[in-house]
Amino acid sequence: MPRYLARRLGQALLVVAGVVMLTFSVMRLVPGDPAVAYAGPKATPDELAAVRERFGLDDPLPLQFVNYVRDLLTGDWGISLHTRRPVRDDLYQAFPASLELVGAALVIAIVVGIPIGVLAARYKTKFPDFGVRFTSMLAVSMPVFWLALTLQLVFAGNLGWVPIAGEYDSSLDTTSPLTLWTNITIVDALITGNWPIFTSTLEHLVLPALVVAAYPTGVIAQMTRAALIEESGQDHARLERALGFGETSILTRFALRPALSPVLSLIALVFAYSIVNGFLVEAVFNWPGLGRYAAESIKSLDTPAIAGVTLLIALVYTLANLVVDLLQGVVDPRARAR
């Protein structure tokens, strides 16, 4: 196991190095002068030269890359061109909101996806299986931005069951201000006992979380179903059948636990995917997360901010992959040999 751990960590570091190089190259591909973008179109040549000097834009590319890596490691992720704040601070504010949205979505996806996967496996080729396969396939094929617009119109606009957009009612900031601990609003509201903001956040969260949950629910249901069906064909299931256990108890008592191993690794992967998928949902519901930040950065061609978002997500993705592999290495020794 230690050798596997070391090898896998080394691989992850290599990937991170590659990711940094790729992000750097994409930044350098940007048409237009970053100095002009920062100083504004009316800047004098002297001001431009000062900006160039400050950001080292006149240095040779390899040197710029070395400086870029050094800055990243020391926590300097550059200055956003549109908020004029350090990108790191912006990300620190936006990322928790995205985590909140995706976390809620994954809770929904697990709570719904696994049971309906079990249901489909129990009644395979029967009507419930047909229904689950059909709806989970629909969920996986759903254009999220369209689903977001449609549910927003129906449930927030026409029926008025939930608020249209935003993270919570901002007037609450004056009546019951929130103490920040984790920057995740709903968690902070819960641990500080701020019920007005907690309920308001919950109301605002339901609809966007349901939309983000569509894809993970679909794949989790499909994976649970497939893994259970494979597991229930194993020898141990045959033995359990011979001992007189019914199909339902074979699935839930014996097959479910081994079948959940691939489902768990799927969840880690789908988590990182959902953050990016959530960008589209954040745009529709005006959710103050990474997606909105990315959209604003894209509009203003804010390269340091775009690079920051890209890098952060890639790191999360790499980390999720690493965790999955290590967990599987612990659970299944065969995985270490790969």
Partner 1 sequence: MTATGAPLRRRLPRIPDRFAALGAVIIVIVVLASLLAPWLAPYPDDPNPLESLQPPSAAHWLGTDKVGRDVLTQILYGGRTSLFIAAAVLAVSAVVGVTLGVVAGYAGGWIRDMIMRVTDVFLAFPALLLSLALAVVLQPGVNTVVLAIAVTWWPWYTRLAASVAASISTRSYVDAARCLGVPAPLIILRHVLPNSLTPVLVQISLDAGGVILTAAALSYLGLGAQEPTAEWGLMVQQGQTLFTTNWWVVTFPGLAILVTAFAFNVLGEGLRNALDPRRAVK
Interface residue list for partner 1 (CB under 8 A)? 11, 14-16, 18-19, 21-23, 26, 29-31, 124-125, 133-134, 137-138, 140-147, 149-150, 153, 157, 226, 229, 272-273, 275-277, 279-280, 283-284, 294-295, 298, 301, 306-307, 309-310, 313-314, 317-318, 321
Q: How far apart are CA 195 and CA 200, in angstroms?
A: 8
- Smaller CB separation from partner 1, 180 or 295: 295
**81 three-state secondary structure:** coil
Strand partners, 79: 86
Alpha helices (runs of H) in 77-194, residue ranges in sequence order: 87-122, 127-140, 144-151, 172-175, 185-191
Q: How far apart are CA 219 and CA 82, in angstroms?
A: 37
Residue 240's alpha-carbon distances to 69, 118, 230, in angstroms, are 57, 18, 15
- Smaller CB separation from partner 1, 96 or 218: 218
* Shortest Å distance, C-beta 177 to partner 1: 33
Closest to 139 measured CA to CA, from 223, 261, 201: 223
Query: For residue 171, what is the DSSP state?
Result: T
Alpha helices (runs of H) in the chain, residue ranges in sequence order: 2-29, 34-39, 45-55, 61-73, 87-122, 127-140, 144-151, 172-175, 185-191, 195-231, 235-242, 247-249, 256-285, 290-299, 303-331, 334-337
* Shortest Å distance, C-beta 24 to partner 1: 12
**252 three-state secondary structure:** helix
Strand partners, 86: 79
* Shortest Å distance, C-beta 35 to partner 1: 17
**142 three-state secondary structure:** coil
- Smaller CB separation from partner 1, 31 or 244: 31
Closest to 216 measured CA to CA, from 110, 101, 331, 323: 110
* Shortest Å distance, C-beta 316 to partner 1: 9
* Shortest Å distance, C-beta 308 to partner 1: 11
* Shortest Å distance, C-beta 176 to partner 1: 32
- How many Cα atoms occupy the beta-carbon half-sphere of 43 within 13 Å? 17
* Shortest Å distance, C-beta 252 to partner 1: 18
- Smaller CB separation from partner 1, 189 or 266: 266
165: left (phi over 0), alpha (psi -120 to 50) or beta: beta
* Shortest Å distance, C-beta 151 to partner 1: 12
Structure tokens at 12: 């992850």
* Shortest Å distance, C-beta 215 to partner 1: 9
